[in-house]
A and B are shown apart, each in its own frame.
Chain A
Amino acid sequence: MYPSTFEYYRPSSVSEAIQLLSQNPDAKLLAGGHSLIPAMKLRLSSPAALIDITRIPGLSGIRDTGDRVVIGATTTYDEVMRSELIQRTLPILPETIDVIGDLQVRNLGTIGGSLAHADPAADLPAVMLALGAEFKAIGPNGERTIPVDQFFVDLFTTALQPNEILTEIAIPKPAGRTGMAYEKFANPASGYAVVGAAAVVTLGADGRVTAARVAVTGAGPYAVRRTETEQALVGQEPTTEVIKQASQRASEGMTFNSDVFASDEYRAHLTRVFVGRAIAKAAQRAQG
């Protein structure tokens, strides 16, 4: 449980951090450290240097930009959970964060760190997919925006370049009658998601689903949207039967992880069950 030797840098601006990243190709950004440090202690990761971005002014905080809520990358779970704006507009975030790790993890872990790390069993990736978030990244060539649907590309792999920093997550405020829910089957040892399902469901005046975004984490190598399920909902009244039919499609075309706790077959089953539960809860909430 002792990491190998590394250098430590604490830049005071994003540009300085990017410069340090370019100069130290074996360096890693350090945010809350709650994924990176454990990996270093097990020597699964041995970066030559750590670039601590948690003290960069302006990189943390939560803003209301009218139609969107913008969260700085180094904002901690705890800050998000306590934000009155978030509780009001995006209640799925506090609901999810409540089942992430423990107090220490939530006090130090950051939103950007979780998303950039892209742990296959992390919770937030599914929620961000369901919310349709947009990510801002800054690199040596400037700034770009990455839609969440293009962000998670493989196991522990995102669309970020090695020398890019994720700086902001922008989330559209939900429209009208929208309900959202996150349902998690936690691994009893790690507490991470064996399967986590996030659903954001919007209903029209007639009570039919006008929009739905459903995503799953934990089950496969990276978090994914379940578009077949979404399509099966749109235009329908969210009855038990409709939700059941839609959630049956949630495991279609997915690759599933298999480990000592849960086989791929079981994860596929859990995916259907938890997607169903998340949708039912979200729909019920939308109905008010």
Chain B
Amino acid sequence: MAVTKLFGASVKRREDPRLITGRGNFTDHIRLPGTLFMALKRSPHAHARIVRVDVSKARAMPGVVAVYTGQDLVDKLAPVPCAWLIPNSDLKVPSYRALAVDKVRYVGDAVAAVVAENRYVAEDALEAIDVEYEVLPAIVDQEQATQDGAPQLYDDVPNNIAFHWKLHAGDFDSAWNQAEVKLSRRLINHRLIPTAMEPRGALAHYNPGTGDLTIWCTSQNPHVHRLLLSAVTGIPETRIRVIATDVGGGFGSKIPMYSGEMLASAISRDLGRPIKWFESRRENYVATTHGRDHIQYVDLAATREGKVTGIRVKSYANLGAYLSTASPGVPTWLFGLMLCGAYAIPAVHVDVFGVVTNTTPTDAYRGAGRPEATYLLERMMDLLARELGMDPADIRRKNFVPKEQFPYTTATGLQYDSGNYEATLDRALELVNYQQLRREQEELRAQGRYLGIGFSTYVEVCGLAPSAAAGAMGFQGGLWESATVRVHPSGKVSVFTGSNPHGQGEETTFAQIVADELGISIDDVEIVHGDTEMIPFGMGTYGSRSLAVGGTAVIMATRKVKEKATKIAAHLLEVAPEDVTFENGRFFVKGAPDRAKTFQEVAGAAYLAWSMPEGVTPGLEETHFHDPINNTFPFGCHICVAEVDADTGKVSFRKYVAVDDVGNVVNPMIVDGQVHGGIAQGLAQAVYEYAAYDENGQLLTATLMDYAVPKASMLPRFDVDRTVTPTPVNPMGAKGAGETGTIASTPAVANAIIDALSPFGIDHLDIPLTPERIWRAVQERRG
């Protein structure tokens, strides 16, 4: 046992002093002499043919070094790649050029790139570019886009359907035919804009002398970016170095490969000078991927006792104008597989139509697919409870997968690792003081006040893995993670991880794990990430996978180090390795604790190598590539209490209780922070945030003046608690906590508001539940 066990301790985030005092190493902070600034001319039309691009005036402006059109780069850059090629779906991946060549397909599609001495000149030059467009009719709604006669984005994507994906598990038809209760609904899960605090950008530096490309960029997965950049530019990956050490949030939007970093790289090679490109917030809003955007038709079959016997979903997923890097996988696998939720549902039929429209491309956004599944299920559970006159807590309890049945294989084929769903529900009911709250609700209703209580008992899949599953799903990569643990001669340790934290705090949690394993001070452990020149190939941070997958790789590499160190210590102590015990950073002879070597002494000896055991090489450094046997499945119960002002439709929050089970927790403070942020984002989807387009494809919420990212004052206090059901999938027993809050909270909030409105006979309203939408619904019912 280590003296100071850090596993489970709320160690303050070691990265914070640097980040909050403005000393971070963000891409835009990097300055290289001779840098040129790149700005992109973007289409003001959602759908148009490019007739002519006249860049002559821009080229002639003082300070402008070069201007490129799509045509200029056709031979220098391959199309933007799509890397989730879902099988058995007739997937079509239309060509996605970094700079549009023949047509623009969404407002924000790039048509030309200006390179100038500074950003002011570059922006001025954009205005001097004259693009002649032949404007075409646009299509924004993905359901209408599939109808005959709708505007077509591509000649080779008939009816704009890029794929039709199916997952039919169990016998839904007979469940439906025999159902005592049938519920059918059309639900909308609207579009969101990820809004990372740091927009996207890149600084690309190609050295014509060496043929090396170094690129600083905003990436959640630098090695993946290196590989993809190599593929699109033709520069061998060994000549590319991607650096993304400090990244200011991503929420999925910094996973994909985009035109910006591709163009900066290609142009830097073309001109032999460093090229910097950075989005404005406005560009970020139109040209960085959006999330969600489903239209779902749901049929739910159940018994009169409230047992769900089957669910059928037909979903139209809006992919936007092009297929972003991971976009086909998000509304299919990450959605469809999770349609059993926390419930023992024997039959699940899902059909997903991936539809291209004249809107910003969509891709993973915090939760990615799972919020869409959870919202749908949790909303339907409430509707079922209402239909049967049951308490929403009871209907959930009735359908839960019982704790005795874990590991549990769902109808959709997932194996839920561990769970005790009822325990989170019970704890949440207790924390919120449920019975008392229902009485208060009654009393307030009598006074014409509308209080509502909303539940969400979710389960999610995270720790995205294993690689074989990735392969079966058509994901063009593995889902393992790597770590190298390098012990220096002094005994200090550098850990090189393929995970790429951009807000999640792994510089702290990973160090806690390593310090515990080696019995050394956390101050002697540094975590290195984000620089492909330093870290082994790795998959990056998304899908709540860094601790479960990357952290396990770190532990396994550390254990390899310990094994080797034990051999060296045994040799120094002149006993057999079996006779050596390692505790609190000391190797000692069993039964003779005074005969000992410290970890630091052994590290020194490994590098001096004056006397090594037979067959043991000098140095103390190990690498491990960890491919887990399964995903992990965190779960929990969130309860929201909200009040609606029926006169204005305005919602105010009373209480928010979150009881999550993410298995064992390394750093409770960091997990609380992840949960808080997640709830804020998910709650925002329910009431504040929505991306709105007009019928011509103009984004109406293109700035923070219109897109309501919540401020602290717009959120309730969060009462966060946890139960602990460890996972057998990794040695820590830890699941994942990055997305639980987002996944759980949207339905809890929506259900609370709809519960509040039940005296008006309202049993469903689509999110976002904006004041006007609520007010209108109340007006209609009041007559």
Measuring CB to CB, which residues of chain A are less than 8 angstroms from any residue of chain B? 1-2, 4-5, 42-43, 185, 187-190, 192, 259-263, 266, 269-270, 273
A185-B650, A189-B705, A189-B708 known; A1+B280 contact, CB < 8 A: yes
Instruction: Enumerate 20 A-B pairs (CB-CB under 8 Å) in ascending A order.
Output: A1-B282, A2-B120, A2-B123, A4-B120, A5-B120, A43-B127, A188-B688, A188-B708, A189-B688, A189-B707, A190-B704, A259-B700, A260-B706, A261-B706, A261-B772, A262-B772, A266-B772, A269-B775, A273-B647, A273-B648
Instruction: Tell me which residues from 734 to 783 in chain B have a Cβ below 8 Å from any Cβ of chain A.
Output: 770-772, 775-776
**CB nearest to A262 among chain B residues:** B772
On whether the beta carbons of B648 and A270 are closer than 8 Å, the reply is: yes
10 more CB-based (< 8 A) A-B contacts, given A263-B772, A266-B771:
A4-B124, A5-B124, A43-B127, A189-B706, A189-B707, A190-B706, A259-B706, A262-B771, A266-B772, A266-B775
**Nearest-CB distance from A53 to chain B (Å)?**
25
Chain B residues with Cβ below 8 Å from A188 are 688, 708, 710, 714
On whether the beta carbons of B714 and A260 are closer than 8 Å, the reply is: no
Give A190 to B650 CA distance when docked, in angstroms. Answer: 16
The 8 Å CB contact of A260, one of B120, B647, B701, B709, is B701
**CB nearest to A266 among chain B residues:** B772
In which size bucket is the chain B interface?
Answer: 20 to 34
Give A189 to B775 CA distance when docked, in angstroms. Answer: 19
Confirm or deny: B692 has a beta carbon within 8 angstroms of a beta carbon on chain A: yes
Confirm or deny: B655 has a beta carbon within 8 angstroms of a beta carbon on chain A: no
Give A190 to B692 CA distance when docked, in angstroms. Answer: 16
Give A5 to B121 CA distance when docked, in angstroms. Answer: 9
Chain A residues with Cβ below 8 Å from B705 are 189-190, 192
Chain B residues with Cβ below 8 Å from A43 are 123, 127
Q: What 5 pairs between A and B have smallest CB-CB spacing?
A: A189-B708, A188-B708, A1-B280, A190-B705, A260-B700
**Nearest-CB distance from B226 to chain A (Å)?**
29
Give A189 to B770 CA distance when docked, in angstroms. Answer: 12
Question: Among the interface residues B650, B692, B701, B705, which one has the most CB atoms of the partner chain A within 10 A?
Answer: B705
Specify the main secondary structure of chain A where it touches its partner: loop
**CB nearest to A274 among chain B residues:** B648
Chain B residues with Cβ below 8 Å from A187 are 708
Give A245 to B704 CA distance when docked, in angstroms. Answer: 38
Give A273 to B650 CA distance when docked, in angstroms. Answer: 12
Confirm or deny: B92 has a beta carbon within 8 angstroms of a beta carbon on chain A: no
Count, A-B residue pairs, CB within 8 A: 58
Give A93 to B704 CA distance when docked, in angstroms. Answer: 27
Confirm or deny: B273 has a beta carbon within 8 angstroms of a beta carbon on chain A: no
Chain B window 699-719, contacts with chain A (Cβ cutoff 8 Å), 1 for yes, 0 for no: 011011111111000100000
**CB nearest to B692 among chain A residues:** A260
**Nearest-CB distance from B285 to chain A (Å)?**
12
Give A47 to B775 CA distance when docked, in angstroms. Answer: 42
Confirm or deny: B281 has a beta carbon within 8 angstroms of a beta carbon on chain A: yes
The 8 Å CB contact of B770, one of A2, A261, A270, is A261
Chain B residues with Cβ below 8 Å from A260 are 692, 700-701, 706
Confirm or deny: B164 has a beta carbon within 8 angstroms of a beta carbon on chain A: no
Chain A residues with Cβ below 8 Å from B120 are 2, 4-5
Give A148 to B700 CA distance when docked, in angstroms. Answer: 33
**CB nearest to B693 among chain A residues:** A260
Chain B residues with Cβ below 8 Å from A4 are 120, 123-124, 127
**Nearest-CB distance from A267 to chain B (Å)?**
9
Chain A residues with Cβ below 8 Å from B710 are 188
**CB nearest to B690 among chain A residues:** A260
**Nearest-CB distance from A102 to chain B (Å)?**
9
Give A5 to B119 CA distance when docked, in angstroms. Answer: 12
Chain A residues with Cβ below 8 Å from B707 are 189
Give A53 to B281 CA distance when docked, in angstroms. Answer: 30
On whether the beta carbons of B119 and A2 are closer than 8 Å, the reply is: yes
Chain B residues with Cβ below 8 Å from A189 are 688, 701, 704-709
**CB nearest to B699 among chain A residues:** A260
Give A273 to B649 CA distance when docked, in angstroms. Answer: 12
**Nearest-CB distance from A191 to chain B (Å)?**
8
Chain A residues with Cβ below 8 Å from B776 are 266
**Nearest-CB distance from A261 to chain B (Å)?**
7
**CB nearest to B684 among chain A residues:** A188
Give A189 to B707 CA distance when docked, in angstroms. Answer: 5
Chain B window 598-641, contacts with chain A (Cβ cutoff 8 Å), 1 for yes, 0 for no: 00000000000000000000000000000000000000000000
Question: Among the interface residues A5, A190, A192, which one has the most CB atoms of the partner chain B within 10 A?
Answer: A190
Chain B window 123-134, contacts with chain A (Cβ cutoff 8 Å), 1 for yes, 0 for no: 110010000000
**CB nearest to B648 among chain A residues:** A273
On whether the beta carbons of A42 and B706 are closer than 8 Å, the reply is: no
**Nearest-CB distance from A270 to chain B (Å)?**
6
**Nearest-CB distance from A144 to chain B (Å)?**
34
Give A273 to B776 CA distance when docked, in angstroms. Answer: 15
Give A259 to B280 CA distance when docked, in angstroms. Answer: 24
Give A43 to B282 CA distance when docked, in angstroms. Answer: 12
Give A187 to B703 CA distance when docked, in angstroms. Answer: 13
**CB nearest to B700 among chain A residues:** A260
On whether the beta carbons of A1 and B708 are closer than 8 Å, the reply is: no
Chain B window 259-299, contacts with chain A (Cβ cutoff 8 Å), 1 for yes, 0 for no: 00000000000000000000011100000000000000000
**Nearest-CB distance from A286 to chain B (Å)?**
23
Chain A residues with Cβ below 8 Å from B701 are 189, 260
Give A144 to B763 CA distance when docked, in angstroms. Answer: 60
Chain A residues with Cβ below 8 Å from B119 are 2
Chain A residues with Cβ below 8 Å from B124 are 4-5
**Nearest-CB distance from B767 to chain A (Å)?**
14
Chain A residues with Cβ below 8 Å from B281 are 1
Chain B residues with Cβ below 8 Å from A270 are 648
**Nearest-CB distance from B680 to chain A (Å)?**
13
Chain B residues with Cβ below 8 Å from A273 are 647-648
A189-B704, A189-B706 known; A42+B282 contact, CB < 8 A: yes
Give A200 to B705 CA distance when docked, in angstroms. Answer: 30
**Nearest-CB distance from A193 to chain B (Å)?**
13
Give A266 to B282 CA distance when docked, in angstroms. Answer: 28
Chain B residues with Cβ below 8 Å from A263 are 772
Give A185 to B650 CA distance when docked, in angstroms. Answer: 9
**Nearest-CB distance from B39 to chain A (Å)?**
9
